[in-house]
Amino acid sequence: MSRWHTASAPGKFVILGEHSVVYGKPALVLAADRRITCSVRRSRHNTLNGEPIEFGKQPHFRYLTRNLRHAADFVTRSDIPAGAGLGSSAALSAALALALSSMAGDDPDERYLVDEAYNAELAAQGSGSPMDASACVHGGGIGVNLPGNEDRKLWCISRGGRSWCVTDMDVPDMTFVVGNTGIKAPTAPQVDKVRRFTRRSNFAAEMIEEIGNVTLCGYEAIRKNDVEALGRMMLTDHKLLSILGVSCKELNKLVNAAMPHSYGAKLTGSGGGGCMIALTDEPDKVAAAIESRGGTAYIMKAGEQGARLESEEPVSPLLDLSSYV
């Protein structure tokens, strides 16, 4: 039997800047303490978690195995909920790209992994920014298109007339609680919805611009460790995202539930369902408030390590693979 090659990558949550980042605006993102682990070994047949793999239904696998000249067994295990705005698609892509590189005897750098993960995401969801892929590969904290910060530059990626310069960012010493609505909401329809809106209305384009400004103010607040100012920016951002049409009543309900004990709260990721985050000094109270309104809460430990090789043999999968986007 061939040996297993195992890699893992963290999920992520967006403090500020989702959606507007697709149009080249700034964003602030932290790696989350939830990971996807992916194992691969040479085999006689292609299998995924013990079943024959249907590449047609698994675009990340189809893209990332495009140069593989032999069959392989894949095993995935995830504690990142899928379709929840926590970067499951990018984390899967990053972990799989690293596991495949290891099987090929390569020792890839982060830049290679980001390109692979971003292209796999594009293959799966059609369009978007390299923000999630960058956060899941690099881990810790990242900024996108922030002014200055030349000395902390990681990479710049251009696509379709847009450019994203990604920098390493200190992980703020602040507490975030995540609330999951439990509603699965894939990224692509939300990104398409905003794109259609921007095409038919200048107003939407102004909202995108405004989210960019709010994100820059939020970045200043993080640098000054000013939780109150950051919280205000988060709530403003949630309102702007709601106007763009990517919130929903369940997200608004959890944001409202969290607010009495929070500096700020907002949806995180592509919206339409999925998760919200709250910035708070009272995480237990916020978690209880979220749970009392039907959400699933957990207190996030931010700044998790990026994509890495693991020595472990694969363990049985936890989540279904029906959708990673």
- Residues making contact with ligand MEV (CB under 6 A): 18-19, 21-22, 85, 128-129, 131-132, 187, 191, 269-270
Compute the least distance from the CB of residue 107 to ligand MEV, in Å: 28
Residue 66: both structure tokens together: 């495009």
**18 vs 304, beta carbon nearer ligand MEV:** 18
Compute the least distance from the CB of residue 18 to ligand MEV, in Å: 4
Task: Measure CA 63 to chain center.
Answer: 19
- Report CA-CA distances (Å) from 212 to 21, 26, 140: 8, 6, 22
**191 vs 302, beta carbon nearer ligand MEV:** 191
**78 vs 270, beta carbon nearer ligand MEV:** 270
Compute the least distance from the CB of residue 198 to ligand MEV, in Å: 13
Taking alpha carbons only, the member of 122, 41, 54 closest to residue 89 is: 122
Compute the least distance from the CB of residue 10 to ligand MEV, in Å: 14
**Sequence-distant (≥ 6) Cβ neighbours of residue 141 within 8 angstroms:** 28, 29, 30, 31, 168, 169, 170, 171, 172, 302, 303
To which residue do tokens 């992980």 refer?
171
Compute the least distance from the CB of residue 3 to ligand MEV, in Å: 34
**16 vs 287, beta carbon nearer ligand MEV:** 16
Query: Distance (Å, rounded) from C-alpha 55 to C-alpha 287?
Result: 39
**89 vs 262, beta carbon nearer ligand MEV:** 89
Taking alpha carbons only, the member of 128, 137, 131 closest to residue 96 is: 137
**40 vs 240, beta carbon nearer ligand MEV:** 240
Compute the least distance from the CB of residue 270 to ligand MEV, in Å: 4
Give the residue nearest to ligand MEV (CB). Answer: 128
Task: Say which DSSP state 160 is in.
Answer: T
**29 vs 48, beta carbon nearer ligand MEV:** 29
Report DSSP letters for 266-312, one per residue: EEESS-SSSEEEEEES-HHHHHHHHHHTT-EEEEE----B-SEEE-S
Compute the least distance from the CB of residue 154 to ligand MEV, in Å: 16
Counting every residue, how long is the chain?
Answer: 325
Compute the least distance from the CB of residue 90 to ligand MEV, in Å: 8
**Sequence-distant (≥ 6) Cβ neighbours of residue 173 within 8 angstroms:** 225
Query: Distance (Å, rounded) from C-alpha 170 to C-alpha 142?
Result: 8
Query: Distance (Å, rounded) from C-alpha 116 to C-alpha 133?
Result: 9
**61 vs 118, beta carbon nearer ligand MEV:** 118
